[in-house]
């Protein structure tokens, strides 16, 4: 039953995109029979891979996170909790499929970027800000003040980094909060909040707290993912600053000039054989990604968890499912899904730049439609909307939540297409958007603020990382722009939408609550 449920969620996520692309690829933007067949086969691999991967997360990876979080908090040792939490955040981020896809796309248009160095920087950023988030919970600091200070420092660091890395950095923040990372981080956050509500952790001893920890425990259960997602942005900005000193200006210019050619380059393999060509490199990447996680599980089992053999076998089975699912997912994405997205973006972008008029409207409309469909199809969005409806006692209806997110993400992807066509700076959208999100924290109930920033990466799931980003990269290359500065940033805009939308709904909930009390 669990497998069927996962299959249903994945099909509802992938199938709408496949239907739209198939329609456009056979009518207004002919992709050719070979690429269409590859796209459909890649989509089927994507569905199978994501289904098996999510099942493996449920029965193997998620229990490891929950049990590790519980065991660590039970030790009541702050140094142990923080150090191991960094390791957990680092390991699971390395294995995150969305991060793997994003790093591959960055590498494809900027050969000087070391893929694994970039992934490790992103993972270190997650680990560091997980520590900051846990300290926020331990010290009972208000989330909005932590966010204000963190984002102020983040934007300063972003301004100092090269423009080529700014969009990539904010995209990394959205890509990290995927099906691998979130379960671990949420388990840690909930576990630490539960322990703090009974007594604070301090140097290995439990001490009683006369503060109102019980009052804030529900708020403290959320927000850790939102804080952690700041880390990858800062890490990539820092990586960009280091690249500025190690790479000459002439090298950078040559790379940017060649970017559009790399984006639009044809695959050497033809037909379905491309998937076999992709398989060896994917197997190597997935092994490198999951091996540290397996090693961490073995160490935790020996020294911390000490589970009975039948539970160990179940979790090992889950890790095997995750491995197989990740291989299928990346083969489908690299071999068929992303090339078709790039090709479709190129065809529509070429028509829009040369013919203008309604072709420009078609490009904008297609990008906007992709955004509206993708956010409603993401499995994590359905979980989020159910959570908000439950917290609000039915006052905030699930349908209203879905409609709000759909409208917001549609606007985000539409703005991304405008950036591709008119090449204006990402800062014109990000600064007002994040400023509004921060201002709303002063009017929104704290619980909704925490959920909003936690869910910033929920909308930017596998479909955004694999297809919409590829579509935007292809359109940018075809329009004669610089894909590095004009296309990257689409994931960031999609991830920014829930920060605003959910807080607005939280304010509406507060107003309705006050009106109900006055009656």
CA atoms within 13 A on the CB side of 435: 6
Q: Report phi then psi at 503, rounded to 5.
A: -70, -35
Average pLDDT rounded to a whole number, residues 330-338 = 88
* Residue listed under structure tokens 């990290």: 176
Q: What distance in Å separates the CA atoms of residue 479 and residue 259, rounded to the nearest whole number?
A: 13
Q: Evaluate if residue 267 carries a pLDDT over 80.
A: no
When pLDDT is cut at 50, 70 and 90, the band that residue 215 belongs to is very low
Contact 162, 36 (CB under 8 A): no
Average pLDDT rounded to a whole number, residues 368-378 = 81
Q: Which DSSP string corresponds to 391-403? A: HTTTSS-HHHHHH
Name which of 33-42, 110-119, 120-129, 263-272 the model is least confident about: 263-272
pLDDT value of residue 209: 40
Mean pLDDT of the chain: 81
Helix axes 213-220, 446-454, angle to 10 degrees: 30
Contact 396, 503 (CB under 8 A): no
Which of the two residues, 264 and 141, has the higher pLDDT score?
141
Contact 494, 375 (CB under 8 A): yes
Q: Is the dihedral of CA 281, 287, 292, 293 positive or negative?
A: positive
User: What is the tens place of the pLDDT at every residue in 445-490?
Assistant: 988 888 888 877 677 777 777 788 889 989 988 888 888 888 888 9
pLDDT value of residue 429: 93
Q: Evaluate if residue 253 carries a pLDDT over 60.
A: no
Angle (CA) 217-218-221 rounded to 5° is 85
Which of the two residues, 167 and 179, has the higher pLDDT score?
167
pLDDT value of residue 197: 59
Q: What distance in Å separates the CA atoms of residue 339 and residue 267, rounded to the nearest whole number?
A: 9
Give 258-325 as a 3 state SS string: HHHHHHHCCCCCCCCHHHHHHHHHHHHHHHHHHHHHHHHHHHHHHHHHCCCHHHHHHHHHHHHHHHHH
Burial class of residue 257 in the structure, from the number of CB atoms within 10 Å of its CB (0-12 exposed, 13-18 middle, 19+ buried)? exposed
Average pLDDT rounded to a whole number, residues 189-210 = 53
For the chain, percent of residues with pLDDT exceeding 70: 85
Average pLDDT rounded to a whole number, residues 85-106 = 84
Altogether, the residues listed in the chain come to a count of 519
Q: Evaluate if residue 367 carries a pLDDT over 80.
A: yes
pLDDT value of residue 230: 92
User: What is the tens place of the pLDDT at every residue in 379-424?
Assistant: 667 666 766 677 667 777 778 878 888 888 888 999 999 999 888 8
Contact 42, 340 (CB under 8 A): yes
pLDDT value of residue 270: 65
Give the H/E segment covering residue 197. helix 181-198
Cα-to-chain-centroid distance, residue 270? 31
Tokens of 224: 């850790």
Residues forming beta bridges with residue 207, ordered by sequence position? 200
When pLDDT is cut at 50, 70 and 90, the band that residue 433 belongs to is very high
Q: What distance in Å separates the CA atoms of residue 72 and residue 66, rounded to the nearest whole number?
A: 10
Average pLDDT rounded to a whole number, residues 174-180 = 73
Give the H/E segment covering residue 388. helix 379-391
Which of the two residues, 151 and 80, has the higher pLDDT score?
151
Q: Evaluate if residue 444 carries a pLDDT over 60.
A: yes
Q: What distance in Å separates the CA atoms of residue 105 and residue 58, rounded to the nearest whole number?
A: 28
Q: Pseudo-torsion of CA 154, 157, 162, 166, nearest 10°?
A: 0
User: What is the tens place of the pLDDT at every residue in 342-366?
Assistant: 899 999 988 887 777 788 888 899 9
Tokens of 367: 């990008």
Q: What distance in Å separates the CA atoms of residue 404 and residue 407, rounded to the nearest whole number?
A: 5
pLDDT value of residue 250: 45
Q: What distance in Å separates the CA atoms of residue 195 and residue 205, rounded to the nearest whole number?
A: 12
Q: How many other C-beta atoms can be found within 10 angstroms of the C-beta atom of residue 302?
A: 9
* 3-class SS of residue 14: helix
Q: What distance in Å separates the CA atoms of residue 176 and residue 130, rounded to the nearest whole number?
A: 13
Angle (CA) 455-458-460 rounded to 5° is 130
pLDDT value of residue 187: 65
User: Could you report how far apart the first and last alpha carbons of the chain are, in Å?
Assistant: 46
Helix axes 115-138, 143-160, angle to 10 degrees: 150
Burial class of residue 418 in the structure, from the number of CB atoms within 10 Å of its CB (0-12 exposed, 13-18 middle, 19+ buried)? middle
Report the greatest alpha carbon distance in the chain.
Answer: 71
Q: Evaluate if residue 328 carries a pLDDT over 50.
A: yes
Q: What distance in Å separates the CA atoms of residue 31 and residue 425, rounded to the nearest whole number?
A: 31
Helix axes 427-440, 490-518, angle to 10 degrees: 20
Burial class of residue 394 in the structure, from the number of CB atoms within 10 Å of its CB (0-12 exposed, 13-18 middle, 19+ buried)? exposed
**How much of the chain is in helix, strand and coil states, percent to nearest 5?**
85, 0, 15
Q: Evaluate if residue 234 carries a pLDDT over 90.
A: yes
Q: Evaluate if residue 163 carries a pLDDT over 90.
A: no
Angle (CA) 224-179-403 rounded to 5° is 85
Q: What is the pTM of this model?
A: 0.80
Average pLDDT rounded to a whole number, residues 179-202 = 64
User: What is the tens place of the pLDDT at every residue in 52-84?
Assistant: 988 888 888 777 777 777 777 777 777 888 888
When pLDDT is cut at 50, 70 and 90, the band that residue 36 belongs to is very high
pLDDT value of residue 261: 45
When pLDDT is cut at 50, 70 and 90, the band that residue 194 belongs to is low
When pLDDT is cut at 50, 70 and 90, the band that residue 375 belongs to is confident
pLDDT value of residue 223: 80
């Amino acid at each position: 039953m669990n497998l069927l449920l996962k299959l249903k969620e994945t099909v509802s996520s992938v199938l709408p995109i496949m239907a739209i692309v198939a329609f456009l690829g056979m009518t207004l933007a002919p992709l050719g029979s070979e690429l269409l067949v590859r796209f459909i086969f890649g989509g089927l691999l994507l569905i199978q891979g994501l289904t098996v991967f999510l099942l493996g997360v449920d029965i193997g990876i998620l229990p490891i996170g929950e049990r590790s979080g519980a065991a660590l908090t039970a030790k009541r040792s702050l140094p142990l909790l923080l150090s191991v939490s960094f390791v957990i955040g680092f390991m699971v981020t390395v294995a995150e499929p969305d991060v793997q896809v994003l790093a591959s796309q960055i590498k494809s248009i900027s050969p000087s970027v070391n893929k694994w160095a970039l992934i490790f920087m992103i993972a270190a950023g997650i680990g560091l800000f997980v520590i900051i988030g846990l300290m926020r919970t331990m010290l009972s600091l208000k989330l909005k003040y932590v966010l204000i200070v963190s984002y102020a420092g983040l934007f300063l660091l972003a301004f100092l980094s090269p423009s080529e890395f700014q969009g990539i950095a904010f995209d990394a923040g959205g890509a990290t909060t995927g099906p691998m990372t979130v379960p671990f981080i949420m388990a840690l956050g909930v576990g630490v909040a539960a322990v703090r509500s009974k007594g604070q952790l301090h140097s290995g001893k439990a001490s009683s707290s006369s503060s109102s920890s019980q009052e804030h425990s529900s708020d403290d259960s959320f927000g850790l993912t939102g804080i952690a997602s700041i880390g990858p942005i800062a890490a990539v900005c820092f990586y960009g600053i280091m690249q500025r000193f190690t790479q000459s200006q002439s090298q950078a210019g040559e790379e940017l000039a060649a970017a559009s050619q790399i984006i639009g380059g044809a695959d050497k393999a033809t037909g379905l054989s491309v998937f076999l060509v992709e398989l060896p490199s994917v197997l190597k990447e997935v092994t490198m990604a999951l091996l540290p996680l397996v090693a961490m599980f073995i160490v935790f089992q020996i020294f911390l968890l000490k589970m009975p053999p039948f539970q160990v076998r179940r979790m090992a089975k889950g890790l095997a499912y995750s491995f197989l699912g990740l291989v299928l997912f990346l083969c489908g994405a690299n071999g068929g899904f992303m090339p078709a997205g790039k090709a479709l973006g190129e065809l529509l972008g070429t028509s829009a730049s040369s013919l203008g008029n309604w072709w420009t409207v078609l490009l904008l409309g297609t990008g906007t439609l992709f955004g509206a469909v993708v956010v409603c199809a993401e499995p994590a969005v359905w979980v989020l909307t159910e959570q908000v409806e439950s917290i609000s006692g039915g006052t905030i209806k699930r349908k209203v939540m879905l409609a709000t997110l759909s409208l917001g993400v549609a606007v985000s992807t539409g703005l991304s297409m405008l950036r591709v066509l008119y090449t204006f700076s990402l800062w014109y959208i990000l600064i007002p958007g994040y400023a509004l999100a921060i201002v709303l924290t002063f009017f929104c109930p704290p619980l909704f603020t925490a959920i909003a920033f936690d869910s910033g990466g929920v909308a930017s799931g596998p479909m955004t990382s694999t297809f919409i980003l590829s579509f935007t990269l292809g359109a940018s290359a075809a329009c004669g722009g610089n894909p590095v500065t004009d296309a990257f940033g689409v994931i960031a805009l999609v991830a920014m939408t829930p920060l605003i939308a959910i807080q607005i709904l939280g304010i509406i909930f507060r107003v309705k609550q006050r009106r109900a009390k006055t009656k």
